[in-house]
Structure 1
Amino acid sequence: MALYEETLTSRILQVVLLVPIISMLAGLYATYQAEEGFEIMLATTVGVAILLLDVMAIRIEIDERELRIRGILGLIVRKTVPIENMASFRVGEGWTSCYGTIHFNLPARGCVTIHQRKGWTVSFTTNNPEEVARVLATLGVLREP
């Protein structure tokens, strides 16, 4: 059972990312009409569409064992941090005030940076940074000032 769940989206980003998908579909149709290179264009269109769909939203889940960050599909954008590997965390105001070696960023009210005992620093944006902080503190992760 998840102690915290949130899905972060940006309508502007979704509209902007639809433009390349529509362009790729137009190119796919053009290669079909030309009867040359359709298979290559099809593979490229599917790959680009999967990538763009995966980055359109971030899903954050925290349970007793781990923090999971996933994209819409969870194929490319994905990171899992076990609670016992978290040394500390920091909460930032605004979605541009955090940085990490691995960073998941969409416009939001705040952000959280997780410092791991082993591995890289992970940061992500959230609309409820204090709720995330409360859950992490409840799980025994130290909060940095």
Structure 2
Amino acid sequence: MALYEERLTSRVFQIIMLVPIIAMFAGLYATYQAGEGVEIMLATTIGVTVLLLDVMAIKIEIDERELRIRGIIGLIVRKTVPIENIASFEVREGWTSCYGTVHFTLPGRACVTIRQKKGWTVSFTTNKPEELAAVLATLGVPRAP
């Protein structure tokens, strides 16, 4: 059972991501009409479409064992951090105010940086910074000074 769950999306970003998807399907139709390279274009169109659909939204989940960040599909955009591996966390106002080695960003109210005991720092945006900070503090994760 998730203690915290949030789905972060941006309508403007989703509309922008639809442009290359539509262009890829137009290219696929053009290669079909030409009769050459349809297989390559089909594989490319499927790959690009899956990638772009996956980055259109971020889902953040926290339970007793781990913090999970996933894209819509979760094939490409995903990161799991065990709670016991989190050294500290920091919350900053503004979605462009923090960075990490692994960074997941969409427009939001705040940005959270997770420092791991072993591994890279992970950062992501959120619209509910107070709720997220309260859940991490409840799980015994200290705030960065």
Q: TM-score, normalised by structure 1?
A: 0.99
Q: Aligned partners of 1:20 and 1:96: how far apart in 2? A: 25
Shift of residue 111, structure 1, vs aligned partner: 1.0
Looking at structure 2, the residues matched to 67 and 98 of structure 1 have their Cα atoms a distance apart, in angstroms, of: 18
**1:21 Cα deviation after fit:** 0.4
Instruction: Give the 5 Å matches for 1:84-123.
Output: 84-123=84-123
1:131 aligns with 131
- The separation in 2 between residues aligned to 1:111 and 1:71, in whole angstroms, is 17
* Percent identity for Structure 1 against Structure 2: 80
Aligned residues: 145
Q: Runs of 5+ in structure 2 lacking a partner?
A: none
Runs of 4+ in 1 over 3 A off after TM superposition: none
For structure 1, the residue ranges without an aligned partner over 5 or more in a row are none
Q: Name 1:73's counterpart in structure 2.
A: 73
Question: Which residue of structure 2 aligns with residue 27 of structure 1?
Answer: 27
SS of the residue 1:143 aligns to? coil
Structure 1 residue 130, shift from structure 2 partner: 1.1
Distance 1:125 1:42 in 2: 34
Tell me the distance in 2 between the aligned counterparts of 1:114 and 1:84. 12
SS of structure 1 residue aligned to 2:119: coil
Provide the C-alpha distance between the structure 2 equivalents of 1:98 and 1:129, rounded to a whole number of angstroms.
13
Q: Which amino acid in 1 is paired with 2:90?
A: R
AA paired with 1:16? Answer: I
Structure 1 residue 144, shift from structure 2 partner: 1.6
Q: Deviations over 1:69-120 (max 9, x none)?
A: 0000000000000000000000000101111000000000001100000000
Distance 1:136 1:34 in 2: 56
What TM-score results when the alignment is normalised by the length of structure 2?
0.99
C-alpha distance in 1 between matches for 2:87 and 2:132: 15
Q: Aligned runs of 1:48-59 on 2, under 5 Å?
A: 48-59=48-59
In structure 1, what residue type is equivalent to 2:115?
Answer: H
